[in-house]
Amino acid sequence: MENSLNGRKALVTGGASGIGAATVRALAARGAKVVVADVNEAAATALADEVGGSAWAVDLFDTDALQSLSLDCDILVNNAGIQRISPIEDFDPVDFRRILTLMLEAPFLLIRAALPHMYANNFGRIINLSSVHGLRASPFKSAYVSAKHGLEGLSKVTALEGGAHGVTSNCVNPGYVRTPLVESQVADQAKVHGIPESEVLAKIMLTEASVKRLVEPEEVASLVAWLSSDDAGMVTGASYTMDGGWSAR
Ligand SMILES: NC(=O)c1ccc[n+]([C@@H]2O[C@H](COP(=O)([O-])OP(=O)(O)OC[C@H]3O[C@@H](n4cnc5c(N)ncnc54)[C@H](O)[C@@H]3O)[C@@H](O)[C@H]2O)c1
């Protein structure tokens, strides 16, 4: 495991926080040179310095700029994401569009930018941070669930096109992970479900799972690192759940 990614160049979007930051550390620990791509420049730079990688300060909402991009990474982790919680009838259309832009259109544009280099090397690993919400729905998350279901489709098409060129594409599908994204939605979940914040974990986030705890970012990162390795060459077009049994229902 130690040097399983020696010589590989990786790019992790949303790499400055949560699952992305754990993934940056996991890939770097296995020998990869990692680009931390994030809108939070200070945090991206600090983490890049920590792991001997580099930072790319990028706002992935700026899809115009991504259209002419060319990437020379061997491993692309599409991870940047946000959340909005609201019933459909109140859901701000601007927020809906922004979530689809960041979590579906930007991954498409980054895959598009990375494939020529991967095809030329006959090697590539694309890992898309989907969610249990790429496979199951929850109320009040129309944009997020739509974007993640779309990402599942994009990942499978990439797998079919990339197979002949040594490129795999897979989704990782965690349940609730202990990150700032989850911490910041507790208040909104309490409001929309009409329960106290102290009950959100037990009554909303962990009801469907068999293992009653949050996923740790490092657990997700270790799966991403394995999918990035040579060992996972026959794994493509797949969606690997890490949801404590939620989707077994
Ligand atoms: N936390 C969970 O419970 C959970 C569960 C399943 C899937 N996921 C998915 O995992 C991914 C990471 O989530 P997380 O919980 O680690 O989130 P997080 O909020 O901890 O980190 C997200 C990162 O994305 C960056 N980002 C946001 N908007 C950006 C933009 N426009 N351009 C560039 N970077 C931007 C942020 O600066 C931040 O560093 C997301 O795609 C999320 O949907 C999270």
Q: Tell me the mean pLDDT in the region 171-196.
A: 94
Is residue 3 scored above 90 in pLDDT? no
Nearest CA to ligand 1 atom 8: 131
- Atom 11 of ligand 1: nearest residue by CA position: 79
Cβ–ligand 1 distance for 208 under 6 Å, the answer no
For residue 226 and ligand 1, the question of a CB distance below 6 A is answered with no
The string of DSSP letters for the chain reads: -TTTTTT-EEEEETTTSHHHHHHHHHHHHTT-EEEEEES-HHHHHHHHHHHT-EEEE--TT-HHHHTT-----SEEEE---------GGG--HHHHHHHHIIIIIHHHHHHHHHHHHHHHHT-EEEEEE--GGGTS--TT-HHHHHHHHHHHHHHHHHHHHHGGGTEEEEEEEESSBSSHHHHTTHHHHHHHHTS-GGGHIIIIISSS-SS-SPBPHHHHHHHHHHHHSGGGTT--S-EEEESTTGGG-
Distance 79 CA to ligand 1 centre (A): 6
Binned at pLDDT 50, 70 and 90, residue 1 comes out as low
CA-nearest residue, atom 36 of ligand 1:
14
144 is catalytic: yes
Whether the model pTM is above 0.95: yes
pLDDT score, position 99: 98
pLDDT tens figures, 44-60: 999 999 999 999 999 99
Tell me: pLDDT of 23 over 80: yes
